[in-house]
Structure 1
Amino acid sequence: MTIALPQRRLSDFAEDFLEGLSRTPKTLPAKYFYDEAGSELFEEICRLPEYYPTRVETALLKAHAAEMARLAGPNAVLVELGAGALRKVEILLDALEAPRAYVPVDISGPFLHDRARQLRQNRPSLLVEPVEADFTAEFFWPASSSAAERIGFFPGSTIGNFTPQEASHFLKRLRPHLSALLIGVDLVKNPAVLHAAYNDSQNITAAFNKNILARANRELETSFDLSAFDHYAFYHPFHQRIEMHLVSRKAQNVFVLGRDIRFHSGESIHTENSYKYTLDGFQTLAMSCGFVPVKSWTDAEQRFSLHWLEAEPKA
């Protein structure tokens, strides 16, 4: 069974795109990276030697999946927010005792349904209920499961794309729908490691960043010349975040939804933040949102962490 919201994504994209480029400074929501082409590019990023989060998180899952399965208990319904290429979730599904269902939630419909078909072929006894939705907003949770049965899975440190205030709002919104949440969180570390991860030698991250403009050209009939923008990513130590920008190489006008948008030479579009946390800092955030930190796992170099959070019952 497939659960989908009404098809509003294109109009939302158009509205948010124009609104973001009308701001000073210009911004675009990172969630719009993930059309089918963007999702494929992100999978390429995850295989890059410089991009440590995927390797470290996968190793942590393999090393500790049995312990995570004990915390989950039998007959769990696993809800993955921002479903990826299934490699991580299959580690969990292999370890869980008789999982009752898997619910991948993703904004990219074709990518989501392709991965769901693969999983049904590999696990014909598992109920797979894909939900095509923007998980950063309200969406319809499958009525076939209750909050008490649902274990949230939010890997990849996507929580870092939210500001701390947005992350707090997001976690508070999730809590009533879940019994527990397994979440990946990137950690504060040597900025040189972060710089390499977001400025890879093959320029895949640059292509991923520029894809948001390519998507606008495809879907909104905009007139972006991708060669006229440079990928720029840097670590901001005060905010403890990576910032990604697209920087205009020249003064130019771009036709966007009936309007000419002016870019000065050197002007940027801020496309993404990726906040980094300390272990204590993230657990403090989780507790303020009604979650109880039960267990955390990290690698020996403390580059990346996984956290098991249980939802506090309502008073």
Structure 2
Amino acid sequence: MTNSVAAQVVQERFTLIDSGAEAQAASFPTEVKAGLTACPKRLPCRFFYDHEGSLLFEVICQLPEYYLMRAEWEILEERAAELASQFPEGAILIELGSGSAAKTRILIEAFLRQSGRLRYVPADISRSMLEESARALLADHPGLEILAIAGEYHEALARLQEDADRRKLILWLGSNVGNFDRAEATQFLRQVRERMSGQDRLLVGIDLRKDRRVLEPAYDDAQGVTARFNRNILARINCELGGQFDLSAFLHRALYNEEAGRIEMYLVSAIRQTVRIDGLDLEVPFELGETIHTEYSYKYSLAEIEELATASLFRVERQWLDSGRRFSVNLLAPAE
């Protein structure tokens, strides 16, 4: 098969719905202005993931301090065949926040070994990351069909009630649930539950509470990649909104709030300064040491996972931990 014919065959198995790029582009200036004029200042973590931010996050996932990727990978490699065996031929794999889909390959390959064909529906706010990961997956797996959704989670949720006669496994991996506070996580999971049939299942990766000596380095690595990732949101404001942020004038801070059970990430002004953002016709003053909150990452105990499932109208059907008991992968079934 020639390269051009192969490319055409791959393209026939790939559909991209760009339902969120325009909406996100429209909301970015509004939310930046609201966040930088608030007290205390804040920027939503979903805006980390432009193309550069998505690439930086993939680097973070390979860092020695960032145990989450390796721990979840270990569980999926061990349990993928078992998971796939619970679903009949024709099942659909839907993923919320797919990123590079590196871990998802493990599950995709397990499903394909079982039935030979699979529809995969990844959703991510980075169109470029979706396109890159889809091309790689389709080239490697002739039995795979991909319907990719460039947008936010609610765009993918709308697809859950399509093909009602086919069982679905919804993936929410990487401890993305941790970016929601506990009430928001319950609310979101209820929205997922409302769109699932009784035969569908939700697979959720959830990071566990642990010592700050493990957690803080995972979000403040020695090579400074996470710091670059955090500051990239300022670079994005510079690029897209005409900002004049000096990235070197902001420090990265990550700390574990043990009582709240969450990592807190901030950008800290290293000097007293005023930053102009031309596209917003805005000048933003900063005192020395003033912070911009950029991310929370909530951690859970096993009891808290049970509580979250129950409050969201699920039950924990199966739960697996990695060998270091640092991370959990949870198969949730709709409660009766």
Sort the TM-score into its range (normalised by shorter chain): over 0.9
Shift in Å, 1:135: 1.2
Residue 237 of structure 2, aligned match among 216, 219, 227: 216
Aligned to 1:273: 296
Q: Distance in 1 between matches of 2:86 and 2:302?
A: 20
Larger radius of gyration: 2
Q: Distance in 2 between matches of 1:298 and 1:287?
A: 20
> Which whole-Å deviations, capped at 9, do the CAs of 1:38-65 have from their partners, x for residues lacking one?
0000000000011100001001100111
Structure 2 residue ranges without an equivalent (≥5): 1-14
1:291–1:76 distance in 2 versus 1, CA, 3 Å: same
SS of 1:72's equivalent?
coil
Aligned to 2:153: 135
Q: Is 1:5–2:5 an aligned residue pair? A: no
Contact 1:176 1:311 in 2 (8 A): no
Q: Distance in 2 between matches of 1:157 and 1:68?
A: 19
Q: How does 1:1-315 map to 2 (within 5 A)?
A: 1-5=15-19, 7-96=22-111, 97-98=114-115, 99-135=117-153, 140-141=158-159, 145-146=163-164, 149-178=167-196, 179-256=200-277, 257-312=280-335
Contact 1:231 1:244 in 2 (8 A): yes
Greater displacement, 110-119 / 224-233: 110-119
> Which whole-Å deviations, capped at 9, do the CAs of 1:71-103 have from their partners, x for residues lacking one?
334321111111122221110011123353100
Contact 1:5 1:140 in 2 (8 A): no
Letter of the structure 2 residue corresponding to residue 286 of structure 1: A
Contact 1:180 1:308 in 2 (8 A): yes
Letter of the structure 1 residue corresponding to residue 305 of structure 2: F
Q: Distance in 1 between matches of 2:218 and 2:154?
A: 25
Contact 1:231 1:246 in 2 (8 A): yes
SS of 1:222's equivalent?
coil
> Which whole-Å deviations, capped at 9, do the CAs of 1:2-25 have from their partners, x for residues lacking one?
222162221111111111111111
Greater displacement, 137-146 / 252-261: 137-146
CA RMSD of aligned residues (A): 1.7
SS of 2:254's equivalent?
strand
1:101–1:112 distance in 2 versus 1, CA, 3 Å: same
SS of 2:265's equivalent?
strand
1:139–1:62 distance in 2 versus 1, CA, 3 Å: closer
Contact 2:28 2:47 in 1 (8 A): yes
Letter of the structure 2 residue corresponding to residue 11 of structure 1: A
> Which whole-Å deviations, capped at 9, do the CAs of 1:134-176 have from their partners, x for residues lacking one?
1167864277533852211111101001100111111011112
Shift in Å, 1:112: 1.2
Q: Distance in 2 between matches of 1:115 and 1:254?
A: 37
Aligned positions, number: 313
TM-score between both structures, scaled by the size of structure 1: 0.95
SS of 2:153's equivalent?
coil
Q: Distance in 2 between matches of 1:287 and 1:148?
A: 25
Contact 1:182 1:309 in 2 (8 A): yes
SS of 2:103's equivalent?
helix
Contact 1:105 1:131 in 2 (8 A): yes
Q: Distance in 1 between matches of 2:194 and 2:214?
A: 37
> Which whole-Å deviations, capped at 9, do the CAs of 1:166-217 have from their partners, x for residues lacking one?
1111101111233111110000011100011111110000000001111111
Q: Distance in 1 between matches of 2:177 and 2:75?
A: 18
Q: Distance in 2 between matches of 1:182 and 1:190?
A: 25
Q: Which runs of 4+ in 1 moved over 6 A?
A: none
Shift in Å, 1:301: 2.5
Q: Distance in 2 between matches of 1:186 and 1:306?
A: 9
Shift in Å, 1:312: 3.3
